[in-house]
Amino acid sequence: MTDRRKPLVAGNWKMNKLRHEAVDLALQLRQQYGSTDDVDIVLCPPFPWLLPVGEAIQGSRISLGAQNIHWEKQGAFTGEVSGGMLADAGCRYVIIGHSERRQFFAETNEMVGRKVAAALASGLLPIICVGETWAQRQAGETNALVANQVTAALSGLTEDQVRTLAVAYEPIWAIGTGHSASGDDAQEVAGLIREVVSKVVSAGAASSMRILYGGSVTPQNMPEFISQKDIDGALVGGASLKADSFSGIIEAAMVIAGR
């Protein structure tokens, strides 16, 4: 077997938690996993808690991530936050193109591409979200749609840049619904993503980049996803809000990493 990519488990806290709750959760996870080296763990709190959560995990191996970024460096863009600011706040990762951003805030493939380029220019590692609605899946459009989302997100990037990033396959119908995809369905799309990257970037970039699954991931179903050959981790929403459920997901990734 070739070298396995290092598993990545990212918690997307979305618009949840007040400051003390965010810091408490970060401190609990730090106590348990602050020196864990075989899985990359990322916490993505809301913008105002980046600094206090960053402080809570400072000096540990847990990384900080943001949930969004703007593509411009600075200027008159009320309510937006730039890559330089996120890096300065201690972020190492940034989630880009989450389906909630695409659905509720009209983010297009083109905007996602600009955000990815801006993140990389600021030294941040993008976690790019792609995925189809239930209607699109029923209509047999999943593969073409995901291929299109991935191609647009990576356009203009160098091979070395693509090696560093992660793509999260998140079927929209599985997000926050309690109905996850099956391991086989997730693997099929993850395999397709690697094929697309191999074609539009390079085989080397495709085999180095990490592909995550997201959508109702729990400690119970994580083994089914992380054991798939093209799935290297998870982007977790609901189950990342509690230390015990997020820990169960990290533990499942550690089992695979230890093999």
Which positions are catalytic?
Answer: 98, 170
Q: Which stretch binds ligand PGA (CB under 6 A): 65-73, 109-117, 133-141, 170-178?
A: 170-178
What is the size of the binding site for ligand PGA (CB under 6 A)? 13
The alpha helices in 7-141, defined as continuous H runs, are 19-33, 50-57, 83-88, 99-104, 109-121, 134-138
- Which DSSP helix (H) or strand (E) runs through 206? helix 203-208
Q: Which stretch binds ligand PGA (CB under 6 A): 67-75, 77-85, 199-207, 213-221?
A: 213-221
CA distance 246 to 219: 7
CA distance 52 to 39: 23
Q: Are the CB atoms for 44 and 237 separated by under 8 Å?
A: no
Q: Which of 237, 245, 253, 257 binds ligand PGA (CB under 6 A)?
A: 237
Helix orientation angle between 19-33 and 243-257, rounded to the nearest 10 degrees: 30
Q: Which stretch binds ligand PGA (CB under 6 A): 22-30, 49-57, 209-217, 225-233?
A: 209-217
CA distances from 108 to 11, 33, 82, 189, 225 (A): 23, 36, 18, 21, 28
Q: Which of 107, 190, 238, 257 binds ligand PGA (CB under 6 A)?
A: 238
Please state the closest distance from residue 157 (CB atom) to ligand PGA, in A.
Answer: 23
Q: Is 217 one of the binding residues for ligand PGA (CB under 6 A)?
A: yes
CB atoms within 10 A of CB 3: 6
CA distance 210 to 115: 18
Distant-in-sequence, close-in-space partners of 256: CB < 8 Å, separation ≥ 6: 4, 7, 223, 226, 227
Please state the closest distance from residue 84 (CB atom) to ligand PGA, in A.
Answer: 25
Q: Is 214 one of the binding residues for ligand PGA (CB under 6 A)?
A: yes
Q: Is 176 one of the binding residues for ligand PGA (CB under 6 A)?
A: yes
Q: Is 45 one of the binding residues for ligand PGA (CB under 6 A)?
A: no
Q: Is 124 one of the binding residues for ligand PGA (CB under 6 A)?
A: no
| Cα angle 20, 26, 28; round to 5 | 100
Q: Is 187 one of the binding residues for ligand PGA (CB under 6 A)?
A: no
Q: Which stretch binds ligand PGA (CB under 6 A): 22-30, 37-45, 105-113, 212-220?
A: 212-220
Q: Compare residues 42 and 201 and give the one whose CB is closer to ligand PGA.
A: 42
The site for ligand PGA (CB under 6 A) is made up of 12, 170, 175-176, 214-217, 235-239
